[in-house]
A = this chain, B = another copy of it.
Amino acid sequence: MNVLDRIDQPTLLLDTEVTRRNIRRMAQRAQKNGVVFRPHFKTHQSAQIGEWFREEGVEKITVSSVEMAEYFAAHDWKDILIAFSANPRQAQRMNALAGKVRLGVLLENVDALQALQAAASADMQAWIKIDVGNQRTGLDWQDVSGVAALCEKVKQTSHIKLAGLLTHSGHTYHAEGKEDVIRIFREGVERLTSLRDVLQLKGISGLKISTGDTPGCSLCDDWSGIDEIRPGNFVFYDAMQALAGSCSMEEVSVALACPVVAKHPERGEAVIYGGAVHLSKDSVLVDGKISYGLPALQAGERWGAPIPGGRVDRLSQEHGILKLPSDVLEKVKIGDLIFILPAHSCLTVQVMGEYLTPQGEKISTFNKPR
């Protein structure tokens, strides 16, 4: 009996080989380009998967919260960047972490800086968060005086050390094809380096440049001007990345295995045990229609290619309603497994909190430590 036969509820399958290949490829790209590889661990959220990065020479990591930093610090990571605008309410916890590891933090305002400085008894590395077009967080890249003023304030503190300029070009996720991803990625880098050059003229020197989203780092071969990259999603990729061309469907290394519980041929639908609490609710477009992931059938002891024309049409708390072509629907039996390539693997991992490998091994995450 293989691992799939034992599955009786929605289960997040992890293809270890493909995952390790994804890690190795990105590590090699960084090495070839002479850039520090500080992968974002918010996608896999797992100490055990972290070890696979260590095997590829990774020593520096990125996380998205103080809690996640505490988790990975407890698993012997010694150089951690919390890539989330510093939250004054967590200043004490950040200071406690800084006493244990080389801690990087993100600043975009004086308020957070003051809170950190008030709590500081250990050194931490401050990165100024720059908005190069994503319009989520950060100081605008054209706001030279604002950035300069914050840098000067950082330099006046005793424990907060100015490390560099950091951005997340998250708008590559909405790019229109590969060329557009590359254009946005390079534009972001050039905006950061031009800002750095202007700051240098103002006497603020030695700033590093940190960037790197999965689409950009996967597709762009020009890494000039970059000191450090921080992609995360590439470890598993997902339907969104595959449809955008950042990876192939074969490079997507996680899928949610879901039992089929009902069929409604008159509507071209199958119902799976697998809903919003298992997949989360990000979506992609399939033939112009919303789909909460891409359904695939079993192929040997894992999932096969996405079913052409198949969609996850609706999600409720525990149910997924699939639209399937009639010939596929006819073959699918109640009790079979259908596999959903997540629209956005980061969120699916977060809600599931656990992986199952083809070898039957369970891998836990930060969110559900065992």
Contact = CB atoms under 8 A, between A and B. Distances in A.
A137 B111 CA distance: 52
B9 A261 contact: no
A112 interface: yes
Majority SS at the chain A contact face = mixed
Interface stretch (A21-29, A59-67, A178-186, A188-196): A59-67
Interface in A249-294: 259, 261-263, 267, 271, 273, 276-277, 280-282
A89 B8 contact: yes
A83 B152 CA distance: 60
Contacts of A317: 42, 64, 346-347, 350
A208 interface: no
A273 B318 contact: no
A277 B88 contact: no
Interface residues of A, number: 51
Contact of A335 (B8, B93, B111, B335): B111
A351 interface: yes
A87 interface: yes
A125 interface: no
B334 A112 contact: yes
B86 A261 contact: yes
Given A84-B273, A351-B350, A89 B136 contact: no
A102 interface: no
Contacts of A135: 267
B87 A271 contact: no
A109 B335 CA distance: 11
A333 interface: yes
Nearest to A43: B317
A28 B307 CA distance: 50
Contacts of A7: 89
A242 to B, nearest CB: 19
Given A85-B271, A318-B65, A109 B262 contact: yes
Interface in A111-150: 111-112, 115, 135-137
A276 B350 CA distance: 10
B271 A115 contact: no
Contact of A170 (B170, B282, B316): B316
A282 B317 CA distance: 11
A108 interface: yes
A258 to B, nearest CB: 10
A319 interface: yes
Given A108-B262, A280-B276, A64 B318 contact: yes
A42 B334 CA distance: 24
Nearest to A10: B65
Given A109-B262, A259-B89, A261-B87, A136 B334 contact: no
Interface string A191-231: 00000000000000000000000000000000000000000
* Interface pairs A-B: 8 shortest CB-CB: A88-B335, A111-B334, A281-B281, A8-B89, A85-B261, A277-B350, A89-B259, A64-B318
Given A9-B89, A87-B259, A277-B350, 15 more contacts: A7-B89, A9-B66, A65-B273, A85-B261, A85-B262, A87-B261, A88-B259, A88-B334, A89-B335, A108-B262, A112-B261, A136-B314, A136-B316, A276-B282, A277-B347
